[in-house]
Chain A
Amino acid sequence: MVFIGVRAAPMVALTAFSVGVTLAMQAAHSLRELGAEMYIPDLVMVTLLREMGPVLIAVIVIGRSGSAVAAELGTMKVSEEIEALEVMAINPVQYLVVPRFLAMLVMLPALTIFGNYIGVFGGWAVCTFALDFNTAGYVLRALQSADTWDLYSGMIKSVVFAWIVITIACNAGLHVDGGAEGVGQATTASVVQALLAMLVTNAVLTGIFFFAA
């Protein structure tokens, strides 16, 4: 849990901050032409909560923790550790997979919330230092624009992504064969599969939450 969550925090913070800054700058450019600069906070907030937050944090966690889990379990498989557990009458799924599953299910949404805050902070930095917003105005607009459903939809996505990422990673790790080469292939496969599955699921969920309804 420490590995998946706490140690990923600095990376999540940096990513979220740059995304917040970028969103605000892009929004400023486009919205200025329409004379609608006041909507910058809305755009930053809603985009982060609904899409960028869950997706980008999931990308980081896939690259960092998903690959690590796949490689770790894969190495355990090739060095007979999994078989040793089985022979000691310890169920490897219970002993190895369940704790990782729970850690991911808790930590990915937690990181997403954390990332959302930092992203909004990034937007604030641009608005305050480069544009004519004051802090109170920014916060007020941002909070007015988003409703709780924006937050919840992002969280639901995040939980679903966590489930996808950890299932794919554990599955890839436990089915490794063929030594070090197999571990490498399984790790790569887990990252690629998890990314694709996560992005497709994101599109489907966005469709369900905001398009079909």
Chain B
Amino acid sequence: MNSNEPPIIEVIDLVHQFGERAVLNDISFNVHRGETLVIMGGSGCGKSTLLRHMIGSMKPTSGSVKIFGEEIAAMKESEIGRVRQRFGMLFQSGALLASLTVGENVSLPLFQHTDKSADEIEAIVKQKLEMVGLTGFEDLKPAEISGGMKKRVGLARALALDPELLFSDEPTSGLDPIMTAVVDQLTLKLARGSHMSAVVVSHDMTSAFRIATRMIMLGHGSIVAQGTPEEIRTSTNPEVHQFINGEADGPIPLNLSQDKHEDHQCVKPRPFALARYRFHHKSS
């Protein structure tokens, strides 16, 4: 890793508000070439929102998000498209186009953004599917394969253009332990061999510690802890400790009925709003 090189991702003082509520609060971090950043945190703590800012589909309330040194928040749709061709994104559900076959899904970005011939594209599609262990599945429709397979096709599609940067939303959830290891090794191989950077949102701690070069833990829309996997593992922060060890008891509020830490809640329930909603429903 060359520290003089500008970072691939530079997030500075990112704030995002939905009305009064700050979903993201003063988030700052960098991702350099070849690094794999894992973002952890409980449900509803802003992980997906943060990811959406980095891919340019949400605009921050304030702060800056630079991808490849360019401010993505200030760009027009057409300019964002140019940046997006340089990164791949794996969605949690795979987000395959249901009307196309597996092969067509993977070839879609190649047909849209390159001048390669149909034969070349077919070869690339074969190679990418082989990387995720799905040789021979080209002609099936997404509806005919399992959830885990869809996700791996999604990964093959994200890697189709040999991106410099890969975003993954829960890449290993729904995969069996062996496929999890395969996907992790693939990420590691690409990071080490091709100096691809990756940003991975994950709940899977085994996988997270296997692939991460740096980790961020989000809580209540802010960064609770940030560091190398070793620093996170040995962290004395009780929230980090509870999260990485998967313990039910600890400082992280769970919004259960016996919960005594209401003022720490990540998403505060609004009983009054809820009551009003119910009332509307009855009266209509």
Contacts and interface: CB of A to CB of B under 8 A. Distances in A.
Contact of A76 (B81, B97, B112, B113): B97
Contacts, number: 49
A86 B97 contact: no
B81 A80 contact: no
29 contacts: A72-B99, A80-B93, A80-B95, A81-B97, A81-B98, A83-B57, A83-B91, A84-B89, A84-B91, A84-B97, A85-B97, A86-B57, A86-B84, A87-B55, A87-B57, A87-B84, A87-B89, A88-B84, A88-B89, A88-B108, A88-B109, A88-B157, A89-B80, A89-B82, A89-B84, A89-B85, A89-B113, A90-B108, A91-B81
B156 interface: no
Interface in B53-112: 55, 57, 77, 80-82, 84-85, 89, 91-93, 95-99, 108-109, 112
Interface residues of B, number: 22
Given A89-B81, A89-B82, A91-B81, A84 B112 contact: no
A89 B81 CA distance: 4
Say what secondary structure dominates the interface of chain A.
helix
A91 B113 CA distance: 12
Nearest to B111: A90
Nearest to A85: B97
Interface in B14-52: none
B95 A81 contact: yes
Nearest to A80: B95
Interface of A: 72, 75-76, 79-81, 83-91
Contacts of B93: 79-80
| Most chain B C-beta atoms within 10 Å of own C-beta, residue among A79, A83, A84 | A84
Contacts of A85: 97
Interface in B256-284: none
B20 to A, nearest CB: 21
Contacts of A90: 108-109, 112
Contacts of A76: 97-98
A79 B93 CA distance: 8
Given A84-B96, A85-B97, 5 more contacts: A72-B99, A83-B95, A84-B89, A88-B108, A88-B109
Q: In the A-B complex, list the 8 residue pairs whose CB atoms are closest, starting with the nearest.
A: A84-B95, A89-B81, A80-B95, A89-B84, A87-B89, A89-B85, A88-B109, A80-B91
A80 B97 CA distance: 9
Interface of B: 55, 57, 77, 80-82, 84-85, 89, 91-93, 95-99, 108-109, 112-113, 157
A85 B81 CA distance: 10
Contacts of B96: 81, 84
Contacts of A84: 89, 91, 95-97
A212 to B, nearest CB: 42
| Most chain B C-beta atoms within 10 Å of own C-beta, residue among A75, A76, A88, A91 | A88
Contacts of B113: 89
A178 to B, nearest CB: 14
Contacts of B82: 89
Nearest to A90: B112
Contacts of B80: 89
Contacts of A89: 80-82, 84-85, 109, 112-113
Nearest to B160: A88
B112 A79 contact: no
B194 to A, nearest CB: 19
| Most chain A C-beta atoms within 10 Å of own C-beta, residue among B80, B91, B92 | B91
| Most chain A C-beta atoms within 10 Å of own C-beta, residue among B92, B112, B113, B157 | B112
| Most chain B C-beta atoms within 10 Å of own C-beta, residue among A80, A81, A87, A90 | A87
Contacts of B112: 88-90
A72 B98 CA distance: 10
Nearest to B105: A84
Contacts of A83: 57, 91, 95
A85 B112 CA distance: 11
B281 to A, nearest CB: 14
A52 B77 CA distance: 44
A91 to B, nearest CB: 7
A81 B91 CA distance: 9
B159 to A, nearest CB: 12
Contacts of B89: 84, 87-88
A81 B82 CA distance: 19
Contacts of A80: 91-93, 95
Contacts of A75: 98
